[in-house]
Structure 1
Amino acid sequence: MAERQGIGEPRFERERQDDAQASISWLPRRLDADAAEPKLRRFGAERFEPARLSLWAMAIGRDPERPLAWLLAADHLPRALLIAGALDPRPRQDEEALVLDGGRQPTQAQFERWWLWERLARPKRWSLRVQPATLRAVALPLWLGYSRGRSGAGQERKTRLIVLSGLSGEALGALKPAVLAGLRERTKAQTDAFRSGVPEGTPEPG
């Protein structure tokens, strides 16, 4: 997962961010394939697969040692995802899942702005603050569903993406921009890797 570094950024801040990125934690997948399939079918999905989206998490609370909630965000997301309670992070697991990069690390100011929006909608949480010392990289479990949308006359049917949380099973349409960006980057990386291993002048398949 790429990291954003500003000009003149203090050295200790860069080191702290590097540590967070290197020790990415996997959040537990509570929704298995048997439970995910009927939910995705209801949204019209014809096929589906497990995925992981790398995001940056920062705790919300009065004390960094006792977080009450977490904001999950990345550069490709228009706003943060709020998760109540503990994250229960775990080491990387041996899981067959599509691993996608959610984007660069947001700044502390961005986290504070996202939390301000949340507090405006929830006045009882006004006394809670973001806790910068808790910044960590996490891999959020997802289920991605694909359905063929309707097409107009003479037009090819486009594939529609459905994103479900692997934690709660709820639909997370707000994550679509990050998932689509991650899919594009993954496809580009695979194409570049293929081209780098093919002798010059060799025609590409298809």
Structure 2
Amino acid sequence: MSSSKFDMIAKDDESSEPADTASLATSSPKCTAATLSVSPEVQKSTYQTPDERLAAMPSHPALSATGTTLSTTLDFTPPSSYYLSPAFADWRTSLLTTLPQYLTLSSKLHITLIYPSYRTQSLSLKLTQREVVKSAVGIIRQWPVKGIKGIEVVFMSPVTDWSQVQALVPFYGLKFRGWVCRIREGEKAARRLVSGGEWDTKLRGQYRKEMGGS
């Protein structure tokens, strides 16, 4: 009988003790999983270096990054038939979806536009190429200005012609005003696009025209 009373008293004492919530929380499988799990975003920011993040970026033939410098080469010299193929559509779509990802890791941008002789391409093809440049510049325009250290544009063509140079018009809409541009004709040395010069005046005027005179 006494043994039975002892058992009952022991149970009452045990149930009357305050619960150790800290130990219960740490011993719970659900709480442990919640405590130890880390989102992929946190893992990246915590454990990945900039070089590791860069290495994990999707690749594109027009994009090449070294450190915080992104080089973008838009080569418009392929034959006209290429621009009617699915390969070009895939190239353009991939470029416009991949470029924003690289900009998040970049502070300097080098853009090279390469053209064949203007006589070898139709007007419709040149318009297609301008649209590619315009779309890419539209993405670059969203790049936070405070994070930019420099934007350099190089236009290359065997013979400089307005029908191709017009591709530079969208750059006049960049929020970063410190961008520079050089035009290289054939084997000649690249010449800097000077404010108030012939090409600058035409490009600036065309930009204002396309923007409705604003």
Q: Do the structures match in fold with TM over 0.5?
A: no
Flag the structure with more relative contact order, 1 or 2, with Cα contacts below 8 A and sequence separation at least 6. Answer: 1
Larger C-alpha radius of gyration, 1 or 2?
2
Q: Give the TM-score range, shorter chain.
A: under 0.3
More helix by share: 2
TM-score by length of 1: 0.22
